[in-house]
């Protein structure tokens, strides 16, 4: 299904996750974050940049443990940045689907 974000048409699934991470842009990320009630700052971008890099290398969004251990963002901060499901919300804003193991 198609969705228009920041003047760009992107393909999303029924839950609003991009189905093609290649369609992601920083402008799309800002719009996806707004939909989640999040205003992005430098700390959000650190997480997003890590997910984009890790996702490109592994083909899927990292889980919370990977973000905190390898991405270097403390768990408490990750939950503050992306409340109510940090791995899912961070993956969505980063242009990836739900990480494996997320309901």
Q: Which residues carry out catalysis?
A: 102
Q: Give the separation between CA 99 and CA 21, rounded to whole angstroms.
A: 13
CA angle 32, 38, 43 (to 5 degrees): 105
Distance between CA atoms of 103 and 71, rounded to whole angstroms?
A: 22
| Cα–Cα distance measured from residue 56 to residue 9, given in angstroms and rounded to the nearest whole number | 21
């Amino acid at each position: 299904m198609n969705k228009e974000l920041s003047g760009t048409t992107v393909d999303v699934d029924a839950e609003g996750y991009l189905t093609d991470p290649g369609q992601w842009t920083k402008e799309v990320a800002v719009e996806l974050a707004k939909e989640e009630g999040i205003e992005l700052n430098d700390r959000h971008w650190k997480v997003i940049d890590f997910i984009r890099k890790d996702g490109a290398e592994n083909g899927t969004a990292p889980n919370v443990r990977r973000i905190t251990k390898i991405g270097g963002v403390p768990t408490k901060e990750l939950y503050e940045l992306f409340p109510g499901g940090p791995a899912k919300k961070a993956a969505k804003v980063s242009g990836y689907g739900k990480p494996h193991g997320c309901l």
